[in-house]
Structure 1
Amino acid sequence: MTVTTLSREPLARGLVDFFGGPRGTHASRPVNAMRWVLSVGWVFLAFAYLAKANCAGGIKNEDGTVSLNWAGARQYTSFCYNDIIPLYGGRGLDKPGFVYAYSWQEGDLTRYMEYPVLAGLFQGFEGWLARTTYPLVSWAVADAGWYFALTALTMAIMWVATLRMVGELLGRRLWDGLLVAASPLVIMHGFTNWDIPSITLAVAALLAVSKRKNWLGGILIGLGFAFKMWPLFMLGAFLVLAIRHRRFVPFFKLLGGAVGAAAVVNIPIALLYPDAWYEFFRLNSTRGWEWTTVYAMIARNFPNLPMSAEFVNAFSLVGFLALCVGILIFGLRTQRTPRVAELVFLILVAFLMLNKVWSPQYSLWLLVPAVLALPNWRLIFTWGFFDALVWPILMLHMHGVENKGLPGELLDLAICLRDGFILAIAVLVIRQMLGKSRDKVLADNGTDLLAGDFAK
């Protein structure tokens, strides 16, 4: 990031000056910048662990063993709830055996691991690791707490690797990596669920494409899809550039790699455990809206308005496809070639705004594309703060008004603020694509570093 750019970003200038930069042209500024970004990343990962630590604590029993302690509804009152700890026992990860062979009964329904295959295998591996090493620490921590610690450590290493790859994608704007490393979203949601591995794979895919390794980029997108579905949407961004610049060979390499990798991961599980493999799709088609979606706000304020799962499924799918077509047409017609990060961000915003499930940690998906597309320091940090604030408000709302929890109106306000900031960033990205505002990334790097073979 140049001195001229910093002068336009007071918040950036203050933070970078604090860390001792920027330096002169012939100094080792890029190396120092990356070192500081990674150091800040580790600090915020430590904060993320502490944010969930109250749910990982245990209580010592008379026989010397340690049991998990969620007394006093601490998962709500201290906002430490995460899916990792309760699913250790809830999905059979605390028992020997293959993760997709495990099932349990909910009434007349037989349930299985509901996560995509690679996510389930990741959980299974961490479960095996926790069970194998737990005797070493059984005197001090509950088994689920130990599983959480090991999972958090693995994902922390992945996140630091992600920061390193983001640094390569930033080009001359290495200090923008602080926007990712020091985001409030990392503290609140780094360890809420298993989202970090999918982000790592998605960023690795962008880096591979930027280095013109399209087959590898496609494979990484396919693996990301096998972890969480959203990395597949990145193909839409490259499709826009492929059509615009007639670069279909790189796109088909990307697509072929993605399809091939997803097939290699999914087909064996689908053949050996068909019911378990289908559980992800079954649950997503039958479940209702999630607490922090626009559908939830409508339901809370208009309880008599019918909103069946079938209607929401159809509306969200048709709406998302329509917005994707709109982004495609817009990307083809803009005078300046859109950057990959701009298109990825708009596609993800379209998906999240209309999807019936927006678990608050999904906002982490937007962080890297937002920073790469529009590194406005004040806006990105402010969005991260208000987005992170949704989580404690949601937890206190779920605690129940009768237990001195927060009313739905306050949760709706928090959701509106989150959505408002994200939409504001999207509008600014669109203005930037139209040439109505200065593109700082292009000004500093001279080209779209993410485009690779898709560049004109």
Structure 2
Amino acid sequence: MPQQEQVKNRVSPGATEPVARDFINAIGGPLGRFARVGTQQFWTPLRVLIFTSLLFLAGGFLTKANCIQGARGSDGVVSLNWSGNRQYTSACYNDIVPLYGGRGLDVPGFPYAYSWQEGDLTRYMEYPVLGGIFQWICAIITRFLYPVFDVLPFHTLPEAGLYFIVTALAMSCFWVLIIRMVAELTGNRVWDTVLVAASPLVAVHAFTNWDIPSIAAVIGAMLAVKRGHFMWAGVLIGFGTAFKLWPLYLLGAYLVLAVRTGKFPDFLKMLGTAILSWVVVNAPIMLIYPAAWNEFLRLNRERGAEWTTIYQVIDRNIPLSFNDPEVLNVISFMLFGLSCVAIAIFGWRVQRQPRVAELVFLIVAAFLLFNKVWSPQYSLWLVPLAVLALPKWNLLLPWMLVDAMVWPILMWHMLGAENMGIPHEILDIVVLARDGFIVAMVVLVIRQMLGKIADPVLDAHAGLDPLLPTPQRAAGVEKH
């Protein structure tokens, strides 16, 4: 579509979203009838969105900054200072800082060759291969730069703090790339991307763990499919799965559409390259360091329920032995598996062809709701998916605010009663509120697919799914 035609068809959020309309009215009102749209040479929507994302990434850095501070000892060496439980009182805890030394990243050597003892158990790097290699590369840069930084007199930044800064900069680049890709995927509703760029969850969880690269892989794969590059989409899914497991679920959405439309060759290209790219990345580590490669699987198999899962909420109030890993594995796997079957059948039988984003959102939401591990930063996965599937600002903004509040309340609870931590009932309420919002979004996506409520994305794109290549979108319209 020519650039001028894209601008002409662009939907203003003020015309469809009450939240945006109120904000626009507060800063001067909507665009005039005779205003020339798309003539701004510098402040294009994309640049505004990137600038906004940088502001929220800066906020994300500041929320963690209290955990990268150190103190000088009598020998002049700077060590990390988490005195006074500052990781909880400041809600600045992140996995990046403590795992720098805890996973041997502060010393030369390959991360999957490093091990340590926890009682009788030999432990290894517990992250999938590309996740561990990403951490290792950031650590190499840190160890190279820190001697230069360390000559500065009286500084109090420990080496783990510099590692956090290097990692945050690298992941910020990935997040800006995500904003660029989401802006293209939103098509005529480009301003929906502001919900991704300005998400409260970014300010809280951008740098809690290493989740952003996997999100970039998922969004990149969806963009590759939109452009008709199915093999590249498969490569990105394979690489994404080598960062975190969840990008694998993207294949489920495309399988539903392949069965529905009969277009199997494109899906098989995607599936084949996904498997091949995953094997290429994993095979060397699997063969040379088999125990370390298996650590991710072992830990996920043997761990109990995480603090903010529905299983822990139930167990804290009605002890039902939900923390037994074997019981949890069966229950969570069965619930998620049944959800995937239900989504597939619904996607095949519903009259209107489902949009890609709708199916992906439903699958990932089901995984989070029923999985035994929901580290709070996992909610960041849903942000771009929810915006693409259900761009209802008056629902998504409250959800993200409530979801972001889970973190400081969890930190406050983890202080413990002896340190004036809050009781678990308060944490349970906010966790249930977060889950309630996600269940509400799932229900609305289903109603949207059934045609019970309007689909603003299809309305803005003449009934076409903007995440599919043009010929397939047209075929879907002709069929339905």
Query: TM-score with structure 2 length normalisation?
Result: 0.92
Sort the Cα spacing of 1:338 and 1:136 in 2 relative to 1 into closer, same or farther, 3 A: same
In the alignment, structure 1 residue 11 sits paired with structure 2 residue 19? yes
Secondary structure (helix, strand or coil) at the match of 2:331 reads helix
Deviations 1:381-434 (A, max 9, x none): 110000000000100111101210011100100100100111111111111100
1:280-337 C-alpha deviation (Å, 9 max, x unpaired): 0000000001000011011101225464111110111111111101001101111111
Q: Could you tell me which amino acid in structure 2 is paired with residue 120 of structure 1?
A: G
**Shift in Å, 1:24:** 3.6
CA contact (8 A) 2:322 2:328 kept: no
- Look up the equivalent residue of 2:264 and give its one-letter code: F
Which of 72, 82, 87 is matched with 1:60 structurally? 72
Q: Does 1:330 align with 2:330?
A: no
**AA aligned opposite 2:102:** G
On the 8 A contact 1:30/1:174 being kept in 2, the answer is: no
| 1:10 shift after superposition | 2.4
Q: Which of 56, 59, 67 matches 1:47? A: 59
Aligned-pair CA distance for 1:153: 0.4
Match for residue 448 of structure 1 among 449, 465, 468 = 465
Separation of aligned partners in 2, 1:29 and 1:409: 53
- Aligned-residue offset at 1:2: 4.5
The CA distance in 1 between the partners of 2:387 and 2:28, in whole Å, is: 20
Equivalences for residues 57-456 of structure 1 within 5 A:
57-138=69-150, 139=152, 140=155, 141-303=157-319, 305=321, 307-446=323-462, 447-452=464-469, 454-455=472-473, 456=476
- Tell me which amino acid in the other structure corresponds to 2:17: E
> CA separation of 1:31/1:330 partners in 2, compared to 1, >3 Å: closer, same or farther?
farther
Q: Distance in 1 between matches of 2:246 and 2:290?
A: 22
Alignment partners' CA distance in 1, 2:49 and 2:201: 16
Whether the aligned pair in 2 keeps the contact of 1:114 and 1:276 (CA below 8 Å) is yes
Q: Separation in 2 of the partners of 1:254 and 1:202? A: 13
Give 1:35 deviation, angstroms: 1.1
**In structure 2, distance between residues paired with 1:248 and 1:74:** 54
Deviations 1:44-94 (A, max 9, x none): 000000000000111122333221110100000000000000000000000
Q: Residue type matched to 1:227 in 2?
A: F
Q: Is the 8 A contact 2:88 2:412 kept in 1?
A: yes
Report what 2:5 is aligned to: none
Residue 174 of structure 1 deviates from its aligned partner by 1.0
Q: Which residue identity is paired with 1:368? A: P
Instruction: Give CA-to-partner distance per residue, 1:200-256, whole Å, 9 cap, x none.
Output: 111111100100000000000000000000011011111111011001000001101
Q: Is the 8 A contact 1:237 1:340 kept in 2?
A: yes
Separation of aligned partners in 1, 2:131 and 2:408: 26
Structure 1 length normalisation: TM-score?
0.97
Q: How many residues get paired?
A: 456
Deviation at 1:135, TM superposition (A): 1.0
**What's the C-alpha RMSD, in Å, of the aligned pairs?**
1.7
Query: Letter of the aligned partner of 1:207 in structure 2?
Result: L
Q: 1:19 to 1:430 in 2, by over 3 A?
A: farther
Distance 2:45 2:241 in 1: 32
Alpha carbons of structure 1 residues 19 and 79: separation in structure 2 relative to 1, 3 Å = farther
Q: Which moved more, 1:257-266 or 1:443-452?
A: 443-452
3-state SS of 2:117 partner: strand
Please tell me the residue identity of whatever aligns with 1:56: I
Q: Distance in 1 between matches of 2:182 and 2:116?
A: 41
CA contact (8 A) 2:12 2:189 kept: no
Structure 1 residues 432 and 253: CA distance shift in structure 2, 3 A: same
2: CA distance, partners of 1:413 / 1:185 = 19
* Unaligned segments of structure 1, at least 5 residues: none
Counterpart-to-counterpart distance in 2, 1:3 and 1:211 = 22
Structure 2, unpaired ranges of 5+: 1-8
Question: Mean Cα displacement is larger for which, 414-423 or 13-22?
Answer: 13-22
Deviation, 1:7, is: 2.3
Aligned residue type for 1:180? V
Shift of 1:451: 1.9
Q: For the Cα contact (< 8 Å) 1:205–1:220, is it kept in 2?
A: yes
Cα 1:197–1:4 shift into 2, 3 Å = closer
Residues 312, 323 of structure 2: 8 Å contact kept = no
